[in-house]
A and B are shown apart, each in its own frame.
Chain A
Amino acid sequence: MALLLRGARVAVLAAFGVFFVGPLLWLVLAPTKSDHELVSRGPFTFGSIHHVALAWKHLYAFSDHIYLTWIGNSLLYAVTATAIVLVTAIPAGYCLALGSFPGRRLVLTLTLVVMMMPAAALVLPIFLELNALHLIGSVLSVILPFAFFPFGVNLAYIYYSTALPRELLDAARVDGCGEWGTFRRVALPLAKPVVALVLFFSFVSDWNNFFLPYTVLGDSKQYPIQVGLSTLLSSTPSFNPAVGGGGQQVGIFRPELALATLVAVVPVAIVFMLSQRSLVRGLVGGGVKE
């Protein structure tokens, strides 16, 4: 009976594993095959490195090397906005957790409400605001809205209100630290895990945002990678028959598209690996009180 149960457990886990890993594996193997091999050979067969190089050559040549520009733009938008988020969200969370000022509860509630609103719902009012400020089409029209990250404030607030012993802060004050000094010398160094957490979530959220840049940017050379990928998708005849015979000259087929998607994930993977240790600590921080 125990053996049967164990077998069933393994079978269920294996089924879920195959279900989730299958598409990922297919995506990783797709650029190793030609477009024709992609439909004629087995889905999980390995083609050749030569095809990866060829797919990269086509991808690199697309619209005068615009793919790298898109990656660069995404890095610029995500890194800059995340830097602003870190500078603003961590102190804000600290103040909300440990400070006492009129309207604190209201700010906290608003942070939660805005956090729960879908980002797309705010795009039109943001567009009108940016238009009034004559920022449409500039990089600020992406970076400034990205820098508004209430989830980061909330994360910092939760961390400071649950995981940081107030006695430590009191000790700093007794030793002569002012409020700023207490935050900078004690609270901030101790908040490494939450800083990593906010950094990761903010970066990923900015990196993956499609709708806002799609709406406010008017020049393909300013697009971030997510908007660029949609352009690549529509240049692939399999996904957009309307591209007609021009698709052959554009040179973007399913393997190129798969490679573009994979490369676009690399920066997120790097940020994840860099912040991994702190992330795990941050996620469980405050979970147990001794």
Chain B
Amino acid sequence: MKQRRLWPAVVVTALAFVSACGGSSGSGSAKDGITVWVDAARLPAAQAYAKAHPDKKVHVVTFDGDGNGATTLQTKIQLWNRSGKGWPDVIFSEQANDPVWMAKAPFDFAAPLEKLIPENVRSQWPQTSTAQCTVGGKQVCLQDNLAQVVLWVNKKQMEAFGYTVPTTWQDWAALGEKVAKEHPGYIVGNIGDSFSHWIYLWGNQCPLQQLEGDKVKIDPTDDHCTRAAALFDPLIKNGTLPPLSVFTPDFAKKYGGAQDKVLLMPGPSWYAQAVFDQALHVPAGEMTAANPLQWGSESPVTTGQVGGGPWIISKHSKNSAAAADFVTWVTTVFNPTGKDARPGYPAYAPLAEKWLQALASNPYFAADPTPALKTAADQVWAGWNLVTYPDQPVWSDKVVTKMVAGDSLSSLLPTLGSALGDAAKAAGYSVVGN
């Protein structure tokens, strides 16, 4: 009897659910508002825009950010292209090279910004940042933040050991040799992350992805690559430059927290929070930043970059003026203070000034890190270009795993160059210098 009553109820409930929910809205461009896709870290910025502009309709969608080798946006954009609808008006990506493929067929998503955002606004981004957003001569994105590499210093430990902060790569390497003998277990960097080549080879002007028109130059035999690798190899061997990722539990256990064994670490601007505070739990009052390391007496000093998430406007947007207004606001106006402060160094120069002022008084740092961050912002080497293919998996697979097994970086450079060349060719580039 019970069963007899149950079945119609189930059917009716199911149909009611389906009919009630069938018309639920999806995402996509709307004439009366905009849809923006952001990662969780950028959600407060999008919400703040909506709050500050109650007259504007902003539909915010959070997604994985496309970082760390995800292919979410490639999948989604191809599906939107296939269905001819659904494109959001604005996307924020954690992957700095996303605009490069977004501006090209078959994706053809990114809109040129020249007519959407005035030149006097766009000119406030550092030239190296604008260069990374320029594809085929057209600027297709604005970077949210800069991720310039500086030398992070554990001031407390360095002073306790009586060491001076190095200013050149050679001094840094010499200190690494000294630390290995005098304080074994302590480190002066790490080279086992998927982006470590952006820190150690980009900054040292190793031409591993240098665009020359439609060609990409990949030359691991270049002196800038081989001399850097030769400098790093003894440190990798003596344990002061371990081929481990800073984000692994092993690394935190061995070098972080109570161990407090990170003396120096070349790394991007966002390392302060994401690595030292949050992943390694280095106590407050110990860390600060020093200028990027110089190669001998060569000038100008150049550095690498790890990050610099871009904002991209869709060329399919039916409301591109509103989309441009949104992107302009989140990159040039949004600047909360205190615990909600922007986590990364703002790419828009006038905003960076304000952000640096707040950072200078942050009690986490042992000394003001802002002069070094400011110096490094203009030193990112422009000879390392963003490409459509992912290079980080190649570095991890061909180099990091082998270094862990005991191979030297010098011996792995040819393999790295060859694998990058294959990836470039598969992505449709002509390869030179390999």
Contact = CB atoms under 8 A, between A and B. Distances in A.
Nearest to B75: A215
Interface stretch (A82-90, A154-162, A201-209): A82-90
Given A63-B62, A242-B67, A242-B68, A231 B40 contact: yes
Interface residues on B, range: 35 or more
A188 B3 contact: yes
Contacts of A128: 82
Contacts of B42: 246
Interface residues on A, range: 35 or more
A137 B27 contact: yes
B70 interface: yes
B273 A83 contact: no
A220 B42 CA distance: 14
B430 to A, nearest CB: 29
A221 B272 CA distance: 32
A31 B83 CA distance: 42
A243 interface: yes
B257 A36 contact: yes
Nearest to B4: A184
Interface stretch (B163-171, B327-335, B336-344): B336-344
Nearest to B43: A63
Given A137-B26, A218-B86, A242-B307, A250 B40 contact: yes
B278 A247 contact: yes
Contacts of B47: 64
Interface string B22-39: 111111100000000001
A38 B7 contact: no
Interface string B232-258: 000000000000011111001100111
B65 interface: yes
A278 interface: no
Considering residues A39, A40, A136, A238, which has the most beta carbons from chain B within 10 angstroms of its beta carbon?
A: A39
Contacts of A79: 17
Interface of B: 3-4, 7, 10-11, 13-14, 17-18, 21-28, 39-44, 47, 59, 61-65, 67-68, 70, 75-76, 79, 82-83, 85-86, 94-95, 145, 147, 193-195, 245-249, 252-253, 256-258, 268, 270, 272-274, 277-279, 281, 307, 309, 339-340, 343-344
Interface of A: 35-36, 38-40, 62-64, 66, 76, 79-80, 83-84, 86-87, 127-128, 131, 136-140, 143, 184, 188-189, 215, 217-222, 230-231, 233-235, 237-250, 252-253
14 contacts: A39-B252, A39-B253, A79-B17, A87-B7, A131-B82, A184-B7, A218-B86, A231-B63, A234-B70, A235-B41, A240-B64, A241-B67, A245-B273, A249-B44
